[in-house]
Amino acid sequence: MKFNNLNRYRVGGTDSNMQLAIKPPATPSGRIYRMSPNEDAHPQHFVMGNPSPDFEITAEARKRMKLEPRSKQTVCPYSGVVAPDESFTHPDDRQAALDMVKQAAVEDMRAAVSDMLRGVASRSKSITYRPAPRRAKPRLTFHRADLLRDLVCDHCSRDYGVYAIGLFCPDCGAPNLRLHFEREHALVNAQVELAEAQDEGLEELSYRLLGNAHEDVLTAFEATLKTVYLFGIANRPEGAPAVKPVANDFQNLERAEKRFKDLDFNPFDGLGEDDLATLRLNIQKRHIIGHNLGVVDAKFAEHANEARIGETVHLVGDDIKRFAAICQAVIDRLDEWLCGAPSPTLGSTSEETAKSPKPKEPKKKTLDIRFDTDRATLQPDGRKAVEQITALLKAQPGLNLSIEGHTDDTGTPARNAALSMERAEAVQAILVQSGIAENRLKVAGYGAARPVSKGAAEADRAANRRVELVRY
Ligand SMILES: [Zn+2]
């Protein structure tokens, strides 16, 4: 008997004892759907993509990791539980894989039996053979992507997505809470800017946008405090006393602080009196905006010197940004507490990073230097851009740049790798000729692996033939 169908999944073993493997399905963006084997983890689901090929892991980052990156184990981003990669396969996918194997086996049997019956039928006048219709092939499934938060671990460069709040990178296990909130922070700053950019006459819209930005900071802040607290509680030594349900304790600074005493930790201990007062005032403001249509009541007037009862609460973009920055400082403290060491990216948040609503690689600045297909020579407008970068590097002696070359997908991978490197080196050569020290510049070539535009039109390809500059 032949096993033509089953053989497609074969990875080893013998003819009578085959070893089969089916790859888990990928999402449209090429990630693999994962589910934590820890039933207490919420919400259990996440997706995992790929790491950057040439990412350098620092010693500082390594200290915060639970696992050597790219090991055969995965860390549950919600609960920190470590288990072999296979145990993170979603049960639906496991079932679909079993169905696929079963289907292949049935098809092989059917083929064998059909051959036999056809043989019998052809020798007999009274028997005709008609095979039954085939069943549809089962398919693997993947989960919805619209609620996913996309992250790229700043410790090991693994790309992944979590629902709600994930505490750890699923690849290396380093806490990524800081990274998570930075994204929130950036979105809030973007909302504030949007509010401030509204024309006169649209004050109402502007106020509404600021109200939403304010609410978003607070919601994310409270949810993060609560998530970390519950993680701490779940990981206390055995026999620790039970705690009361959290309810809305994290909507109040004093109660939140009291809660964290269960874990002998105070996430607010790095804040000065001023910052604490600002935090308190902003938590109060939420009540006014959310439940009182922005009109100051007696309780709020007590806390805020400038507010008078009956007036509309003041919302200023810069205040919201400051509030978000204070929340970020508390989150950074939680992130440090999760593994006992501060994040290696702490202190690197520039104004620019905070403003950028883009989650991935916020330190990246794309320099618009375009190239012709299969060429590493700069076009005239590219030279102009490089001159501007030279001026910037001269003005900021502390700025170091990684020059990263990219190609479109028309050549072979080997040619593209070489060409992308030549492009990066062409830019580097001009910078060095202009008097920039070589040790401030790194070069790398990524071939066609990181397109900015996925289409096959010439405009997409032209956009991909580029050089990017990244601060390092
Ligand atoms: Zn990682």
Domain positions in the chain: 32-90+143-162, 177-275+314-355, 364-471
Q: State in Å: Cα 153 to ligand 1 middle.
A: 5
The pLDDT of residue 296 is 62
Q: State in Å: Cα 149 to ligand 1 middle.
A: 15
Q: State in Å: Cα 174 to ligand 1 middle.
A: 6
Q: State in Å: Cα 453 to ligand 1 middle.
A: 26
Q: State in Å: Cα 155 to ligand 1 middle.
A: 5
Q: State in Å: Cα 102 to ligand 1 middle.
A: 37
Measured between its terminal Cα atoms, the distance across the chain in Å is 61
Q: State in Å: Cα 157 to ligand 1 middle.
A: 6
In 3D, which of 281, 275, 279, 326 has the Cα closest to residue 307?
281
Q: State in Å: Cα 62 to ligand 1 middle.
A: 9
Q: What is the CATH number of domain 364-471?
A: 3.30.1330.60
Q: State in Å: Cα 11 to ligand 1 middle.
A: 30
Q: State in Å: Cα 46 to ligand 1 middle.
A: 14
- What is the layout of strands, in order, in the sheet containing 364-370? 364-370, 466-471, 401-405, 441-445
The pLDDT of residue 363 is 47
Give pTM, 2 decimals: 0.61
- Tokens at 317, concatenated: 């973009």
Q: State in Å: Cα 119 to ligand 1 middle.
A: 60
Which helix (H) or strand (E) is 443 found in, with range? strand 441-445
CB 464 within 8 A of CB 408: yes
The pLDDT of residue 240 is 87
State which residues have CB under 5 angstroms from ligand 1, the bound ion. 153, 155-156, 158, 169, 171-172
pLDDT by residue for the chain (472 residues), tens only, comes to: 777 887 877 878 887 787 877 776 666 667 888 889 998 888 888 889 999 888 899 998 999 999 999 999 999 999 999 999 989 987 777 777 778 778 888 888 878 777 777 777 777 777 777 766 666 665 655 555 666 788 999 999 999 999 889 999 999 999 999 999 998 888 888 888 888 887 777 777 887 888 888 888 899 999 999 999 999 999 888 888 889 998 889 988 999 999 999 999 999 998 999 999 989 988 888 777 666 556 666 666 666 665 555 665 666 788 888 999 999 999 999 999 998 877 777 665 434 344 333 333 334 555 567 777 778 887 777 777 787 788 777 777 777 888 888 888 888 888 888 999 998 898 898 889 888 888 889 898 988 888 888 878 888 888 888 888 877 7
Q: State in Å: Cα 173 to ligand 1 middle.
A: 6
In 3D, which of 189, 148, 135, 151 has the Cα closest to residue 43?
148
- Tokens at 374, concatenated: 């299969």
In 3D, which of 401, 369, 408 has the Cα closest to residue 471?
401
Q: State in Å: Cα 32 to ligand 1 middle.
A: 16
CA distances from 27 to 22, 97, 134, 140, 144 (A): 16, 16, 28, 11, 9
Q: State in Å: Cα 159 to ligand 1 middle.
A: 8
Q: State in Å: Cα 69 to ligand 1 middle.
A: 7
The pLDDT of residue 357 is 36
The pLDDT of residue 14 is 81
The pLDDT of residue 93 is 76
> Would you state the torsion angle of the CA atoms of residues 359, 361, 362, 368, taken in this order, to the nearest 10 degrees?
-120
Q: State in Å: Cα 82 to ligand 1 middle.
A: 13
* CB < 8 Å & 24+ apart, contacts of 383-390: 383/430, 386/427, 386/430, 386/431, 386/434, 387/434, 389/431, 389/469, 390/430, 390/431, 390/434, 390/435, 390/436
The pLDDT of residue 64 is 93
Q: State in Å: Cα 86 to ligand 1 middle.
A: 19
Q: State in Å: Cα 356 to ligand 1 middle.
A: 22
Tell me the backbone φ, ψ of residue 405, rounded to 5 degrees. Answer: -90, 145
Q: Is the dihedral of CA 423, 429, 430, 436 positive or negative?
A: positive
Q: State in Å: Cα 70 to ligand 1 middle.
A: 9
- Residue 339 CA, chain-centre distance (Å), reads 20
